[in-house]
Amino acid sequence: MAGTEKNRRITDVGTLKALAHPLRMKLYRGLTIARVATASQLAEQVDEAVSLVSYHLRKLAEHGLIEEAEPRSADGRERWWQPASDGVSIRDEDFRDAPEKAAAHTAASRLFFEQRADMYRRFLDERTHWGEEWNSAAESSESTLRLTAGELAELTAELLTLVRRYDERGRAADAAGDSEGRENVAVHTYAFPFRT
């Protein structure tokens, strides 16, 4: 992925809809974690037919979300895939100028939230298998703050900067072969206004 974007900003409805398909989002997430994988490997993770997974990977590639990777085996029949960027960002401001765009953004946001909630539910169901160290390190909290929109934007930017710093640290350690004790960790943040 040398020379690829750090974070691709999705601004068109077609690409948003391509990613906002439940299976495609699972495949994209799985590929982001694996960094490089085949349709067969991803099909095993999501418990779907290889032909179906291959179809959806091609759809993600059509929208530039993933790309072919260098083969990792001598079997030239199998295509290897990798994310086309380190991540994606989807911002409300890019989809609010037309009702159908706003509806697509809302539908995609709901899907992403449900999949994230499912990930956390799975952790809760499996937490006894993670052991004391990981359970002590895991976090679930809620803070209610009194902020302006500008302060919320500043808080969000600071949180993302912190997460990126830890992501870079983990990637560097993996690249150096330091993978002992490392697990995939999901960090979900939601910051939004509400009235009581």
DSSP the chain: -TT-BSSEEE-SHHHHHHHTSHHHHHHHHHHHHHSSEEHHHHHHHHT--HHHHHHHHHHHHHTTSEEE---SSS-TTS-EEEESBS-EEE-GGGT-SSHHHHHHHHHHHHHHHHHHHHHHHHHHHHGGGTHHHHHHH-----------HHHHHHHHHHHHHHHHHHHHHHHHHHHTT--TT---------------
Instruction: Read off the pLDDT of residues 54-64 as tens digits, 9 standing for 90 and up.
Output: 999 999 999 99
Q: Is the pLDDT of residue 73 over 90?
A: no
Average pLDDT over residues 97-122: 96
Q: Is the pLDDT of residue 87 over 70?
A: yes
* C-alpha distance from residue 170 to each of 88, 116, 127, 183 (Å): 19, 21, 23, 10
pLDDT of 5 reads: 63
Instruction: Read off the pLDDT of residues 120-140 as tens digits, 9 standing for 90 and up.
Output: 999 999 999 999 999 999 999
pLDDT of 141 reads: 93
